[in-house]
Amino acid sequence: MARTPVGPLEYTRRTWMRLTLLATFIFLYAPIVTLVAFSFNDSRRNIVWRGFTLKYYEKALGNSELIEAFVNSLAIALLSTVIATVLGALTALLLWRFRFPFKAGYEGAMALPIVIPEICMGVAMLAFFAKVGWPSGLPWPFSLSAIIIAHVSFSFPFVAVVVRARLAGFNQELAEAAQDLGASEWRVFWDVMVPFMRPGLVAGALLAFTLSLDDFVITFFTSGPDTVTFPVKVYSMVRFSVTPEVNAASTVLILLTVVLTGIALWMQFRQEKDKS
Amino acid sequence: MENWRRGRSAFWLIGLGPTVWLVLFFLVPLAIVWLYSFAELRGLVDMEVTGTLDNYARALDPLYLGVFGKSVVFAGLTMVVSLIVGFPVALAIVFAPPRWRPVLLLLVILPFWTNLLIRTYALIAVLRVRGFANFTLEWFWDQSNTLLSLLGLGSYQLLGERFEPLELLYNNTAVIIGLVYVHLPFMVLPLYAALEKLDRSLIEAALDLGASQWRAFLTVVVPLSMPGIVSGAILVFIPALGSFLTPDLLGGTDSQMIANVIERQFKSANDWPFGAALSFLLMYLTFAALALRAVVSRGRGGI
């Protein structure tokens, strides 16, 4: 097979190494691929291939509860991303620019939402909204407010990490030059800092969006009967039974994340090309 | 970096929003749960914070201690299996031709971008009795049987009378498989980062001096990639320890982890004080794992 003999360090060309790699990728992808494939399968029993059909997509589209949950999920992801991006960017700026007392402690507190188990954050949110008597039964976008708040709380520290990594490469002389030329602090912020931060902001926002769309555990504790999100709805369907309809709905969500990831990667690629 | 005193107005303008949010919508909720962990139930839903330690004492009950132990064992096993599977994968990616590396890395990360619930659901379809894993096994069974009858051994029924599907779902094995499936990228990425920085001439030197590949791996590659191993181990252990969905959907009645017990206290058992105490114990366990990592990496840095 190999034209040249395998060198001592060419581990990837060794057969057993390739087999391990292949087996791992099968392990990672086989479940997802079968899930997608069988959403097109014309059989309720979901195991043997009986021909191509789109009827489960029609069924999923006709399931008003599922559609409502999907719309809720998108609305929550969109709104929480906007707030989380602003708060995350401000956190990054604060930590990047200022030296202040107890900074290490502040950074530690900001990292807490990233490290504590999701279940702990979920029950904390449940206890909090119950304790303050958060109003339920508000008109639509406001009825999602509790979930949005919870999502912002766990995603904005992630945005802060991403934006801060970007800020680490900022050349302070740019801001000083602008100030020397008479720009106010506000102008420097809008015309120098924000454009520089933009790739970090976009990457952070996409991360926040996927985190929000992905979250089940924390949402599970903050959602009520009228505010079901897509993962929560799928969870209740999965507990009930495994149906091709769930496969169809899942495929749509996988597609959505793959497209979003593609956009993120493409933007990163373009940004790296700009630099060189 | 400037001192905050030199730009007080900018400091407050930038810092106020995120700080208020963090305190109000994160630290206060945590504090409420912390207070509840010292509360007593009064009636069905009412609680009174009395400073009692009963909830923590109850968590030391062998039943719940067992659940904690099981969670730690599950997370530990997940860590070990991920390391065993992830190391060759990371090694293969690092030593792949340069233009293949980003593609292979992307292939490892991509499933991570798929919804956790959907991935777990996909595993159910693979592992259940009438699932694809058993289908594949049955196919192999049929093929082997055909082979055996071709060899004239068909009448002995060496493989049993008919195919017995394996019970792969709703047990501890399923939970471990699910946890590894979900957390593998967390292990591969730090290992890749550590192995990529490795100076290859060191391996060559070991081989030149007569070490076998295996010896070179154990005495050169593994020690030099230790920071990656430690990071990966912690990155797998911590989320695995607090998993809720995987044991909930793939596990049986005896494979419940600590998060499942917490969920039950808050959702169906309605014993919030006890659930709060369990939550904080889980959090302390997480912090202990993080502290251990800090100690290990500091110890290594000192050498």
Pick B170 or B302 by higher pLDDT.
B170
Residue of B14, B23, B256 for testing the chain A interface, max A β-carbons within 10 Å: B14
Instruction: List chain B residues with CB under 8 Å of A24.
Output: 85, 89, 184
Q: What is the 3-state secondary structure (H, E, C) of chain B?
A: CEEHHHHHHHHHHHHHHHHHHHHHHHHHHHHHHHHHCCEEEECCCEEEECCCCHHHHHHCCHHHHHHHHHHHHHHHHHHHHHHHHHHHHHHHHHCCCCCCHHHHHHHHHHHHHCCHHHHHHHHHHHHCCCCHHHHHHHHHHHHHHHHHHHCCCHHHCCCCCCCCCCCCCCCHHHHHHHHHHHHHHHHHHHHHHHHHHCCHHHHHHHHHCCCCHHHHHHHHHHHHCHHHHHHHHHHHHHHHHCCCHHHHHHCCCCCCCHHHHHHHHHHCCCCHHHHHHHHHHHHHHHHHHHHHHHHHHHHHHHC
Helix, strand, coil percent values for chain A (each to nearest 5)? 75, 0, 20
Task: Work out the minimum CA distance from A263 to partner chain B, whole angstroms.
Answer: 13
How big is chain B by its Cα radius of gyration, in Å?
25
The answer to whether the Cβ–Cβ distance between B33 and A123 falls below 8 Å is yes
**How far is residue A94's CA from residue A81's CA, in Å, rounded to a whole number?**
20
User: What pLDDT is attached to residue B157?
Assistant: 66
Q: What residue type is A254 in one-letter code?
A: I
8 A C-beta contact, residue A120 and residue B283: yes
Question: Mean pLDDT across the stretch A262-270?
Answer: 74
- By C-alpha distance, which of B61, B246, B188 is closest to A118? B246
B249/A220 Cα distance (integer angstroms):
14
What mean pLDDT is predicted for residues A91-106? 92
pLDDT at A96: 92
Q: Which region among A68-72, A81-85, B19-23 has the lowest average model confidence (pLDDT)?
A: A68-72
Q: Which CATH number among 1.10.3720.10, 2.160.10.10, 2.60.40.10, 3.40.50.620 corresponds to the domain B66-128+170-299?
A: 1.10.3720.10
- The band of A263, judged by pLDDT with boundaries at 50, 70 and 90, is confident
pLDDT greater than 50 at residue B302: no
Output the six-digit token pair for B181. 């499936």
A46 touches B at CB < 8 Å: yes
pLDDT computed for residue B141 by the predictor: 82
Contact B125 A46 (CB under 8 A): yes
List the one residue out of A214, A250, A221 whose CA is nearest residue A234: A250
What digits encode the pLDDT tens for the residues A149-174?
Answer: 999 999 999 999 999 988 988 888 88
A21 reaches B (C-beta below 8 A): yes
User: Residues 126 to 145 of A: which have CB under 8 A from any B CB?
Assistant: 126-128, 131
Strand partners, A41: A52
Amino acid at B44: L
Q: Whole-number mean pLDDT of chain A?
A: 87
- The angle that helices B226-241 and B172-197 make with each other, rounded to 10 degrees, is 150
Dump pLDDT digits (tens) for B132-172. Answer: 777 788 888 888 878 888 877 766 666 676 777 777 788 89
When pLDDT is cut at 50, 70 and 90, the band that residue A3 belongs to is low
User: Across the interface, do B26 and A112 touch by the CB < 8 Å criterion?
Assistant: yes
Whether the predicted pLDDT of A183 surpasses 90: no
User: How far apart, in whole angstroms, are the C-alpha atoms of residue B248 and residue A235?
Assistant: 11
- CB-based contacts of B263: which residues, under 8 Å, 6+ apart? A119, B244, B248
Whether the per-residue pLDDT at B46 is higher than 90: the answer is no
Q: CB-based contacts of B44: which residues, under 8 Å, 6+ apart?
A: B270
Checking phi first, is residue B6 left (phi over 0); if not, alpha (psi -120 to 50) or beta? alpha
pLDDT score for A1: 46
Name the pLDDT band for B7 (thresholds 50, 70, 90). confident
| CA-wise closest residue to A80 among B21, B24, B243 | B21
Contact by Cβ (8 Å): B124, A42: no
Partners of B239 on chain A (C-beta within 8 Å) are: 117
With CA atoms as reference, report the closest residue to B68 among B246, B216, B231, B241.
Answer: B241
* Cβ count near B278 (within 10 Å): 30
Give the bridge partners for B3, in sequence order: A99
Amino acid in the structure at residue B185:
P
| Best CA proximity match to B201, nearest among B181, B224, B173 | B224
Whether B27 sits inside 8 A of A118 (CB atoms) is no
Beta carbons of A214 and B116 less than 8 Å apart:
yes
Predicted ipTM beyond 0.95: no
User: What is the rounded average pLDDT of the residues B93-97?
Assistant: 89
Q: Is the pLDDT of residue A186 over 70?
A: yes
Return the pLDDT at A47: 63
Query: What confidence score (pLDDT) does residue A29 get?
Result: 92
Size of interface A-B (CB pairs under 8 A): 226
**B118–A250: do the CB atoms touch at under 8 Å?**
yes
∠ CA B67-B71-B77, nearest 5°, is 140
Q: Do B88 and A21 touch (CB under 8 A)?
A: yes
DSSP A96-163: HHEE-TTHHHHHHHHHHHHHS-HHHHHHHHHHHHHHTT---S--HHHHTHHHHHHHHHHHHHHHHHHH
Q: Minimal Cα distance from A116: which residue of B?
A: B283
Q: Chain A window 50-89: which residues touch B at a Cβ cutoff of 8 Å?
A: 86-88
Measured CA to CA, the distance from residue A84 to residue A92 in angstroms comes to 12
The b-or-e profile of A158-178 (16+ CB within 10 A means b, else e) is bbbbbbbebbeeeeeeebeeb
pLDDT band at A274 (very low <50, low <70, confident <90, very high): low
B42-46, B73-77, B97-101, B219-223, range with greatest mean pLDDT: B73-77
Which one-letter DSSP state was computed for residue A183? -
Buried b (16+ CB within 10 A) or exposed e, A90-122: bbbbbbbbbebeeeeebeebbebbeebbbbbbb
Token readout for A145 is: 């407010």
- Contact of A29 with chain B, judged by CB distance below 8 Å, is answered with yes
Residue B115, pLDDT above cutoff 80 = yes
Instruction: Provide mean pLDDT across the span A177-201.
Output: 89
What is residue B303's predicted lDDT score, i.e. its pLDDT?
37
* Helix pair B101-109, B62-94: axis angle to 10 deg: 160
Q: What one-letter code names the amino acid at A210?
A: T
**Residue in chain A lying closest to B250 (CA):** A239
Residue B74: band (very low, low, confident or very high) from pLDDT cuts 50, 70, 90: very high
Residue A204 sits at the chain B interface (C-beta within 8 Å): no
- Which member of B110, B126, B272 has the closest CB to residue A30? B126
**Nearest by CB to B122, which of A11, A35, A110?**
A35
Instruction: Choose among B95, B222, B246, B83: nearest CA to A216.
Output: B246
A133/B162: higher pLDDT: A133
pLDDT tens per residue, range B25-37: 999 999 999 999 9
Pairing of strands B46-49, B39-42: antiparallel
Q: What is the mean pLDDT of residues A215-243?
A: 87
Looking up tokens 């929480």, which residue turns up? A80
Q: What is the pLDDT of residue A129?
A: 94
Q: Taking the model in full, what pTM does it have?
A: 0.88
pLDDT in tens, A37-67: 888 888 766 566 777 888 888 888 888 888 8
Given a contact cutoff of 8 angstroms between Cβ atoms, the answer to whether B262 and A119 are in contact is yes
Task: Tell whether A256 lies on the interface with B, counting CB pairs under 8 A.
Answer: no
CB of B50 closer than 8 Å to CB of B42? no
